[in-house]
Amino acid sequence: MKPEKDGLFCERIFGPTKDWECHCGKYKRVRYKGVVCDRCGVEVTRAKVRRERMGHIELAAPVSHIWYFKGIPSRMGLLLDMSPRALEEVIYFASYVVTEPGDTPLEKKQLLSEKEYRAYREKYGNTFKAGMGAESIKKLLQDVDLDKESNELQEELKTVQGQRRTRAVKRLEVIEAFRESGNEPSWMILDVLPVIPPELRPMVQLDGDVSQRPT
């Protein structure tokens, strides 16, 4: 079985399956070390690089990283001050979320049903922005001002008690973690999926003589 070009085991992406030999066989032996074949595009090097080189898949549309969306507590929900249920409705295309209310009575992060969305769109035209899916959540995450949120929560903690205080503490912990790490909140939404090296994925035979590795 030979790896398919641009597939999950592609030699051009991950390296050759045989030491010092490109995919098509034009270049063989160590004297061609480092040469990239002009015919098949595979670098002449050791096969062990297939245990080291990672690939990636560019997604047609953004997706939510399930760790931050479904985890307990939901980091994404705490950061946006949205309930996990509300997040789920938006991410799974059950409801619209307002990303820019414009000059309308709508509020940012407000959820709208299909019927409500059409009614507001008919009444206010394109003066507001709302959407569905992970792409809309990404827009909300990009708009988060971590410093501002941190200051507001610290002020809020001086006066609130009970459940409101507990939630504010949890939100502040998440916000401070982002501030200290330098990570961007929008990175919880994936535009690219990493692919681990092929030699770290055991190969199995599927029906129709197609080789694949279990996910």
Q: Where are the domains of the chain?
A: 11-54+196-212, 60-192
pTM: 0.81
Q: What is the pLDDT of residues 80-116, one digit of tens each?
A: 999 999 999 999 999 999 999 999 999 999 999 999 9
- Alpha helices per DSSP H over the chain: 11-14, 66-70, 75-80, 84-91, 114-124, 133-142, 146-156, 162-181
Residue with tokens 């029906």: 207
Q: What is the pLDDT of residues 6-34, one digit of tens each?
A: 999 999 999 999 999 999 999 999 999 99
